[in-house]
Structure 1
Amino acid sequence: MQLKKMIQSDFDDFLSFSILDYAKDKVAAGTWSGDEAIALATTTFNELLPKGIHTENEFLFSIIEPSLSSKIGYLWFHAHHDKTGKSAFIYDFVIFEPFRGKGYGTKAIETLIKEIKTMHFDKISLHVFGHNEVALSLYKKMGFVTTDINMTRYL
């Protein structure tokens, strides 16, 4: 498994895929309405990545599986310092549909952990949507622990 820095064409693909995916998740979570989701997701990505692949402190990767000679997903994390040290926050992690359920997500997180350790980070954090049980299971299996929980009751 390899994490390859995105080139512009990968970033363009990532952006169009991830904006739509994020919008769908926000609608599924009940945070945004369907009418506004694409516009809000686009705004969010533009604010977080104002200089695209050249945005400072943002690490954007294509996930490559050499045995397949194929790009199988994307990974994006943000680097920052906080009160607990040097932190990486995963903003987006996706394994493309045809490659899911085959252990590639686990291998990608293992590869990321090795990469982040060489960069002397103290921790990795992320947000996961409550409805995404597959992701929750993967992150728990990989040693992530719950730090906050938001809950909603619909009336």
Structure 2
Amino acid sequence: MPELIVRPMRESEFDEWNEATRKVLAASQVAIGNWSSENAPELARKARRDLLPDGLATEGMLFLKGLRPDGTPVGAAWLGLTHPRGVPDCAFLYFIHVDEAHRETGYGRALLSAAEEAALSHGMKSLELNVFGFNAPAIHLYETSGYRVVTQQMRKSLGA
């Protein structure tokens, strides 16, 4: 694994990160057919407002920034220390992202490991996440990092 420096995300980094990841959320929800492309931007903004009413300062949320030793940012992770469905002692990984230029170099695995360590340091006994079915590289990362499927949704288009 490459060396990765992980620190809390700074206020000066949050707005840009939040906007970029809201766009990823919107596009992903459109791609799987949950949201229309017209409604997706507003639905993504609402979802973030609901989860992060105080932005970076929202209680129970951790935002981690991953950097190479030379200070080059490579990605970020967002964890909730309270599981959205109330699973006891289980943190939830809402979002992990490695910048495209740094993918397939081990930084995703290093950032995931850092997120797991952060959860452990806050007394969590497990970490859960959701991954979109079309995201084969992420699924591979999670499977090879010891994650197992605990629930699965499936969909079939009917008609035309």
The TM-score range, normalised by the shorter chain, is: over 0.9
2:28 matches 1:25? yes
User: For the residues of structure 2 that align with 1:7 and 1:112, how far apart are their CA atoms?
Assistant: 16
Q: Indicate yes or no: 2:75 matched with 1:104.
A: no
Residues 1:60 and 2:63 are matched in the alignment: yes
Deviation of 1:118 (Å): 2.4
Aligned position for 2:140: 137
Aligned counterparts of 2:140 and 2:120: Cα–Cα separation in 1: 23
Question: Which residues of 2 match residues 31-110 of structure 1 at below 5 A?
Answer: 31-66=34-69, 68-80=70-82, 85-110=88-113
**Aligned structure 1 segments of 4 or more residues deviating by more than 3 angstroms:** 81-85
Matched, 1:128 2:131: yes
Question: Conserved in 2, the CA contact under 8 Å of 1:60 and 1:77?
Answer: yes
Provide the C-alpha distance between the structure 2 equivalents of 1:111 and 1:60, rounded to a whole number of angstroms. Answer: 11
TM-score, normalised to structure 1, is 0.93
Q: Deviations over 1:90-143 (max 9, x none)?
A: 011100111111111011112222232222211000000011111000000110
Conserved? CA contact 1:63–1:108, under 8 Å: yes
* Aligned-partner Cα distance in 1 for 2:45–2:13: 17
In structure 2, distance between residues paired with 1:15 and 1:58: 13
Unaligned runs of 5+ in 1: none
SS class of match (1:85): coil
Whether the aligned pair in 2 keeps the contact of 1:2 and 1:111 (CA below 8 Å) is no
* Pairwise CA RMSD: 1.5
Paired positions, count? 154
Looking at secondary structure, tell me which structure has more strand per residue. 1
Higher helix share: 1
Separation in 1, partners of 2:43, 2:88: 31
Gaps spanning 5+ residues in structure 2: where? none
Aligned AA (2:7): K
Q: Does 1:115 align with 2:118?
A: yes
Identity %: 27
Distance 1:16 1:83 in 2: 27
